[in-house]
Amino acid sequence: MKRIVLFSFILAITPLAMAHTQDQTRDRVQDQTRAQTQDQTRDRIYGSQLMTPAERATYRQRIRSAKTQQERDRIRAEHHKLMQERARQRGVKLPNMPAHPMHRGMQGQGRNTMPSRKGGGRPGR
């Protein structure tokens, strides 16, 4: 009788233990993903390596609260000048032009990147 009770107890708690383990695994994966996302977000801010976490948060908030694209562009331009000056003072080299988040990874790619051929069609025809 004790064996049956013990076996029933084990059968009852096994799914709970498995669910707890799955929750811990999910939470760990979410934490890792959140950390990676924060790193990627920080890297998208021009001169982020010269900023404190509080400055990055303030910059992000300013960009998010901007009402128009022109206002966001103005904030980015001001930020660019500030980071260039900070880099100069610290003896650090930053690229001249910040990459706009929409265009990152697409630099140098245009509409007509394929070499053109006279006559078109397949080669050899």
Integer Cα distance of 48 and 39 in angstroms: 10
DSSP of 46-73, one letter per residue? TTGGGS-HHHHHHHHHHHHH-SSHHHHH
Q: For 22-62, write each residue's pLDDT tens digit.
A: 777 777 777 666 665 555 544 589 999 999 999 999 999 99
What does pTM read for this prediction? 0.48
Residues 104 and 44: beta-carbon distance below 8 Å: yes
Range with the lowest mean pLDDT among 3-7, 54-58, 61-65, 105-109?
A: 105-109
Phi, psi angle pair for 54, to nearest 5°: -65, -40
31: left (phi over 0), alpha (psi -120 to 50) or beta: alpha
